[in-house]
Amino acid sequence: MLILHFIGLAMGLGTSFAMLFLGIAGSKLEPAKGREFMLNATAILRMGQIGIVVLLITGLYLMTPYWASLGEQPLLITKLILFIVLSGLLGVLSSKARKARKGDAEAHMKAMVPLGRLILLTALGIVVLAVMVFR
C-alpha cells in the first residue's frame, strides 16, 4: 500500500510540477499559441485527479493505526485538512480547465495560474508534514 501511496503522490505532485513548467513554456509562445498550448496541456490534470484518488484510498488504509491517536497529533490533523483543501482546489482547477476548453479560455486560464501555484504549495506542505509526522 505504501508503494501505491507513493505512486499516487508522484502522480499528484508531478502534475503540479508539470503544469508549472508547461506554463513557463507556454508563456514564451505568442499569446494565441500559448493559450492553445495550455488548453491542450490541461489534459494532464486527469493524472493529478487519479493520483489524488490513489492517495485517498491508500492513505485511509495506511492511517489505520493512527486513527485512535489522531487527536494527539496536530501535525497529522493539519496534513489531513490540507489534503481536503488540496482536493477542493484540484476540483476547482479542473472545473476552470473544463470551462476554458468550452469557451472564454482567456478568462478561465487567468484564474488557473494562481490556483495551480496554490495547489503546488499545498501539496509540498502536505509532503513536509508527512515527513515530520511519519519519520
Which of 119, 116, 118 lies closest to 26, judged by CA? 116
Ramachandran bin of 104, using left for φ above 0, alpha for ψ from -120 to 50, beta for the remaining angles: left
Placement of cell 505504501 in the chain: 2
Q: What is the pLDDT of residue 42?
A: 87
31: which 3 cell numbers? Answer: 499569446
Q: What is the pLDDT of residue 32?
A: 87
Placement of cell 515527513 in the chain: 131
pLDDT tens figures, 57-111: 999 999 999 999 999 999 999 999 999 999 999 999 988 888 888 887 888 888 8
- Domain housing 122: 2-134
- Rounded Cα–Cα distance for residues 110 and 108 (Å): 5
Q: What is the pLDDT of residue 128?
A: 97
Structural domains in the chain (count): 1
Q: What is the pLDDT of residue 108?
A: 84
- pLDDT interval class at 119 (50, 70, 90): very high
Q: What is the pLDDT of residue 118?
A: 93
- Rounded Cα–Cα distance for residues 116 and 111 (Å): 9
Q: What is the pLDDT of residue 63?
A: 93
pLDDT tens figures, 11-47: 999 999 999 999 899 889 998 898 889 888 888 989 9
- Which has the higher per-residue pLDDT, 4 or 113? 4
94: which 3 cell numbers? Answer: 479542473
Q: DSSP assignment of 53-120, as one string?
A: HHHHHHHHHHTGGGSTTGGG-HHHHHHHHHHHHHHHHHHHHHHHHHHHHHS-HHHHHHHHHHHHHHHH
